[in-house]
Amino acid sequence: MTFSNNFKDFRAEVKVSSPGRINLIGEHTDYNNGFVMPTAIDKKIFFDFKKNESGENCKIYSKTFDSYYEFSLNEISKQEDSWKNYLLGVIDEIQKLNKKLLGFDCIIESELPIGAGISSSAALECGFAAGLNKLFKLNLSKQEIVELSQRAENNFVGSNCGIMDQFASVMSKKDHIILLDCKTLETEFIPADFKNCKLLLLNTNVSHSLADSEYNTRRAECEDAVEKIRQNYPEVSSLREVNIEMLEEFKDELSEKTYQRCLYVLNENERVQEASEAMKKGQLKRFGELMYQSHRGLQHHYEVSCRELDFMVDFSEDKDFIYGSRMMGGGFGGCTINLIEADKIEDYIKEISEAYFRKFKIKMDMISVSPGEGTQIS
């Protein structure tokens, strides 16, 4: 079957735009119940939905992958194509809530680069869930959409992500950054006043095979440390309840690697809180210094960076028009996020592109982004 045969005379009943996200600082802290500073961006995935008369048959066409997929709501099973599993996981979680779905058709088109660390997966999950919620009047709240989308990725896809990506994709406000407490979900929206600067993503265009497995390994390492500390401190349920003194007390009982992982998380939580104050006070230079510190922690203590990311951060560090730079996302590839004076962007892209290609024989991409609105439905 071809796309044209299956979507002839398609007329959308529900349209959704679901954004990717950036995280200015606070990496790998969300699944440790820590602090993060994300926001949605002005780059999105677009969905068109309509009901069909089949009862249980669903048809999805991805313009991005030029891929057609048909399945029954009564036969949800994991697929080899990873993009399908994010959608099937959402359906699985909705049906677990005893919400009634019927057959539907959906067309998806994305302007988010895959593997860049801007959470195309969360945008896919949240936009799909929001569209089905509207189409079938499921009466799910924004919070429920966030949580079921996270569960879809944890339970069906098999990635033990925290809640940050889905929360930012749904809840963000245009021209604001979220200070999110991942333990309580307490939220503060901070005006994104970057003055004469802009946010620039530089995509390494590498995605090392370590990324998925090492992400889950880091989470397990942190949870193992929590289990040991809990023996003496039963109130501890995550690294959020651990302070430096407690960590030092258990230093000899933890492997050096695990100790370094925990030390990074504790320091990063402090950096996020300081960064939020710096942003509110307009102290962009200090904000940038904290970004650099974050990267070095990810590089040396959490060990989720890679040569390509480190090169980009190193290259930026002696430029006085770049206030801060760090890797963003799970690691082992993807983007650096840079706080850079707007009028220097064009020349800098030319300079670093040439240097990066000389070093790695890889062409990098740039993505200029601004803080955008969360999931929109029409």
β-sheet with 333-341: strand ranges across: 322-328, 333-341, 197-207, 365-369
- Residue written as token pair 């690697």: 257
Single out the catalytic residue among 66, 105, 165, 314.
165
Element at 287 (helix H, strand E): helix 284-300
Q: Which of helix, strand or coil describes residue 277?
A: helix
Is 165 in the active site? yes
**Angle between the 210-230 and 256-280 helix axes, to the nearest 10 degrees?**
100
Residue type, 33: N
What secondary structure does DSSP assign to 158-204, as a single string?
Answer: -----SHHHHHHHH--TTEEEEEETTT--EEEEE---TTEEEEEEEE
Question: From CA 259, how far away is CA 242, in angstroms rounded?
Answer: 12
**282 with 193: CB under 8 angstroms?**
yes
Residue 186, both tokens: 């307490």
**197 with 323: CB under 8 angstroms?**
yes
Catalytic residues: 165
